[in-house]
Amino acid sequence: AVDAVIVGATSSVPAVAIDPAGNVMVLWNQSDGAKPRVWANQYVVASGLWTGAAPISNDAGTAVSSIQVATDVLGNMVAVWSQDLRIWAARFNGTGATWAAAERVEGATGSTNFGPKVAVDRDGNAFVLWSQRTGQLANPEHIWANRWTSGAWGDAGRLESDVVAAKYASVATCGSGDAVAVWIHNAMLKPNVYANRWTTGAWQGAVRIDAEDGGSAGGPPGVGCDDAGVALAFWLQSAGG
């Protein structure tokens, strides 16, 4: 094992991505001596060396959580995290081996945002999902998404329209350029699993995918998608009742 962080500093919440060439990117939460930051370090197969730890988030925030990172086939990566109740993202250029400045992707004022997930397709397009609550703490949270394409983030939008709470989102990209999102719906009462698919340039609408006569779904669901666009979602579910 090799210590990829700064010796003598307290670090936590690591996330890892490995590109097709075998290069390893590690991200984690660590204080810069004044405030918590998201740090990154890459192991490069060609040199057999770590490039050196450096912060990729800004220094204006406080709590950092839910760090995630994903890569495309060329080694370009997208990292996301929650900081100060906002969702932030930064892009890594695999050719230049540099991180771009972090950007907010949720775009909403007066909201609480947490639990981001990210997936990147083979062309470098990124999908970020997260939970968002607007207004008071008692208000339900909902699933929101944003997409990076053609060099910029788009406008954030909700993936479901019900009034009950939705949380625990997961997302996967397909070889076709599609993406599939899944989440727990009606999370505070009898939870169910819902999904939405991005295809032909738009999200197609939320649909329930668990058994209509089954029990309550539990825990964060997961999803994967193959090169043909066939998706597989999985979750825990009680036997009935």
Q: What is the DSSP string of 61-104?
A: ---EEEEEEEE-TTS-EEEEEEETTEEEEEEEETTTTEEPPPEE
- Provide the percentage of residues in the chain whose pLDDT is more than 90: 71
Kindly give, in sequence order, each residue whose CB lies less than 8 Å from that of residue 188, ignoring residues fewer than 6 positions away.
140, 164, 165
pLDDT digits (tens, 9 = 90+) for 146-163: 999 999 999 999 999 988
Please report the pLDDT score of residue 134 as a whole number: 86
Sequence letter at residue 24: V
What's the rounded Cα separation, in Å, for the pair 17 and 24? Answer: 6
pTM over 0.85? The answer is: yes
Nearest to 71 by CA among 142, 139, 105, 120: 120
Please report the pLDDT score of residue 59 as a whole number: 74
Nearest to 180 by CA among 210, 208, 211, 204: 204
Please report the pLDDT score of residue 8 as a whole number: 47
Instruction: Count the helix, strand and coil residues of the chain and give each as a percent rounded to the nearest 5.
Output: 0, 55, 45
CB atoms within 10 A of CB 1: 3
State the sign of the Cα–Cα–Cα–Cα dihedral 152, 127, 154, 149. Answer: positive
What's the rounded Cα separation, in Å, for the pair 122 and 99? Answer: 19
Question: Which helix (H) or strand (E) is 146 found in, with range?
Answer: strand 142-149
Please report the pLDDT score of residue 215 as a whole number: 66
pLDDT digits (tens, 9 = 90+) for 174-209: 998 999 999 998 856 778 999 999 999 999 999 999
6 phi/psi in degrees, rounded to 5: -85, 125
Which residues of the chain are under the pLDDT cut of 70? 1-11, 60-61, 137-138, 187-188, 212-215, 240-241
